[in-house]
Amino acid sequence: MDRLPLQPVTIAAIALLGGVYLLRSRTASRARRPPGPPGLPLLGNILQVPVKPVFLIGDITLAKEVLEKRSAKFSSRPTIPYVRYHVDPAEAYWVFSKQTESHFIARKLTTGLMAAVRAGETEPLQQFEALLNVTHLLDDGGKNWFHLIERVSASMVLSAAFGLHCPTGLEPDLKEVIACLAELVTLSNPSASIINVLPFLDMIPGPMPWRKRAQTYRKREDALYNRLITRTVSGEASGMNLWATAFASEDKPEGDQRRLMNQFAGAAIETTAVSMHTFILACILYPEWIPRAQREIDAIVGEDRLPSFKDRPNLPFVEAIRLFGGALLFVSEFPHQSTADDVVEYQGKEYFIAKGSIIIAVSWAIEHDQARFENHDLFQPERFLDDTNNLKAGYETSAFGFGRRVCPGIPFAERSLWINIAMMLWTFNIRRSEEPDPKTGLPFKYDDRDLAFSGNFTSGPFEFPAVFEPRSMQRLEVARQEWAECEKDLNVLLPRHKEQYKLGITG
Ligand code: HEM
């Protein structure tokens, strides 16, 4: 009597074991699977592993081997269903998209734009913005420093891209760019929509909440970038060589250009702001390196003028700070996806990586690698210098990613960081605030552990207080004087260099 009901159970058990066996042996290769968390008896890691295997790399040599040397196989991106089918059905978000034609065009165009940046075209603009940032910090002693850094990061990018200079940080278009970015960060989070987890729900027809939210966002974003691109192309800022003009000139449907350009704002503004916020946190938590940096700057620049780009080759320690600030970024790493099976050798063993796997180079682990760095947890920019005090030839950093997905904005990003860091260190002593934290009434607790960071796509420190004290009256006056005298016409700061631009595109 008992036997009959047991039969389906037995069959189910055999089916389950068979399924487990098949799943575990799907990677039927002589190479083993890379090490991961300990598994359950018999089931192994099956209950822990998401549909696609995820590989975390914490070693720069391995990251370069996989993501650079084999970039033909490891340069796609995983699909976030909600972004792919609702927020960006045209796949124009090239930061998120697979290697589509739009992605190819956008990277090609950006290479051309960055050739002009390398040639120095945007330096006057970046210098002007950094000087304005210093005067803002002088005006308020740093009370609003966190947002002032957001302003300068955004204004540098938006001026170069759309001719949209934002001197106050309160400009409506700037606020809309930031609001759209924040919404996009939310929408691209895997937990943003139920259909990322249960994609079959998307078969339900009609105006489901996730559809309405994505549509509302798309309309809002289209309206914004339509306005910015039209303004750029129609000639309001026509004297300048603006990035949006290059994108608009490409023969693509209009909507694509809006979203291609939106990605500049997305990828460029927050990363730059987060790098500088992290740099200020390092000034407060690990101030030991500051005197050396200021001695170097003072020896080359003196007290009668602010640093400028022409000082850059003579300030290797500032260069190392710039690199180190970026390297210690707590960016939630951008995932790569593989498009073919492969076997990777690591420490004498071979590991199988199936097609479709997600590979993440964890820059926090890479930059804190105890095997490579003696004081891996300290802020020691000299890690990037050689014995003669110059930047190490062939230094390595993971901060900008790898291979065919490596950040295409590096030339602009490094200039933005360098000039702002150099000017702030020349002008200010940057230190912790002694004011009580209004939330607790106690001194503010500075922290650089995980909890002090947002955990977003680009994970930066949460807002914290800092004091920006002018190093001397002389410096304060020189900064004010330089600002009074500096050129403020965007057309002059960012002139049109047609020939140079064309060279960049084809070169
Ligand atoms: C300090 C500033 C910046 C940092 C730390 C940074 C870092 C990164 C990282 C880690 C990636 C992912 C690379 C990968 O997947 O392997 C990336 C991608 C990207 N970055 Fe940056 N970035 C910065 C500034 C900029 C700027 C200024 C621009 C544009 C002017 C820019 C444009 C992009 C774009 C478009 C992508 C996507 C590339 C693709 O998927 O093909 N970034 N960036």
Residue 139 to residue 142: CA distance in whole angstroms? 8
Mutate to test the pocket of ligand 1, among 114, 261, 271, 410 (most ligand atoms within 8 A of CB): 271
- Residue nearest atom 7 in ligand 1 by C-alpha distance: 400
Beta carbon of 334 within 6 Å of any ligand 1 atom:
yes
Mean pLDDT of the residues in the chain: 84
Annotated binding site for heme: 407
Residue 166 to residue 197: CA distance in whole angstroms? 40
Residue 67 to residue 359: CA distance in whole angstroms? 8
282 residue type, one letter:
A
Q: Are the C-beta atoms of residues 376 and 369 closer than 8 Å to each other?
A: yes
What is the CB neighbour count within 10 angstroms for residue 167? 13
- According to DSSP, residue 67 is labeled I
Query: Ligand 1 centre and the CA of 269: distance in Å?
Result: 10
Between strands 342-346 and 349-353, the pairing is antiparallel
Q: Are the C-beta atoms of residues 34 and 337 closer than 8 Å to each other?
A: no
Residue 95 to residue 194: CA distance in whole angstroms? 22
Q: Are the C-beta atoms of residues 401 and 361 closer than 8 Å to each other?
A: yes
- Give the ligand 1 atom nearest the CA of 333: 10
Query: Ligand 1 centre and the CA of 374: distance in Å?
Result: 29
Mutate to test the pocket of ligand 1, among 113, 276, 407, 420 (most ligand atoms within 8 A of CB): 407
- Give the ligand 1 atom nearest the CA of 263: 35
Backbone phi and psi for residue 470, each to the nearest 5 degrees, phi listed first: -60, 140
Annotated binding site: 407
- In tens digits, the chain (507 residues) has pLDDT values of 333 333 443 333 333 333 333 344 444 455 666 665 555 555 555 444 456 899 999 999 999 999 999 999 999 999 999 999 999 988 888 888 999 888 888 898 899 999 999 999 999 999 999 999 999 999 998 899 999 999 999 999 999 999 999 999 999 999 999 899 889 888 988 889 999 999 999 999 999 999 999 999 999 998 998 888 888 877 766 667 788 888 877 655 555 666 677 777 888 998 899 899 989 998 998 899 999 999 999 999 999 999 999 999 999 999 998 887 655 655 557 899 999 999 999 999 999 999 999 999 988 889 888 888 888 888 888 888 998 988 888 888 888 899 999 999 999 999 999 999 999 999 999 999 988 888 889 989 888 777 777 766 677 888 999 999 999 999 999 999 999 999 888 888 887 654 444 444 332
Query: Ligand 1 centre and the CA of 93: distance in Å?
Result: 13
Query: Ligand 1 centre and the CA of 458: distance in Å?
Result: 10
Secondary structure of residue 36 in the 3-state scheme:
coil
Kindly state the helix (H) or strand (E) to which residue 429 belongs, with its residue range: strand 428-431
Contacts of 313 (CB under 8 A, 6+ apart): none
Beta carbon of 408 within 6 Å of any ligand 1 atom:
yes
Kindly state the percentage of the chain with pLDDT values over 70: 83
Query: Ligand 1 centre and the CA of 401: distance in Å?
Result: 8
Beta carbon of 337 within 6 Å of any ligand 1 atom:
no
Query: Ligand 1 centre and the CA of 408: distance in Å?
Result: 6
pLDDT tens-digit series, residues 179-219: 998 898 889 888 899 999 999 999 999 999 999 999 999 99
The whole-number pLDDT of residue 504 equals: 42
| 361, two tokens | 């180079």
Kindly state the helix (H) or strand (E) to which residue 22 belongs, with its residue range: helix 3-25
Secondary structure of residue 106 in the 3-state scheme:
helix
pLDDT tens-digit series, residues 104-128: 888 988 999 999 999 999 999 999 9
Residue 401 to residue 366: CA distance in whole angstroms? 11
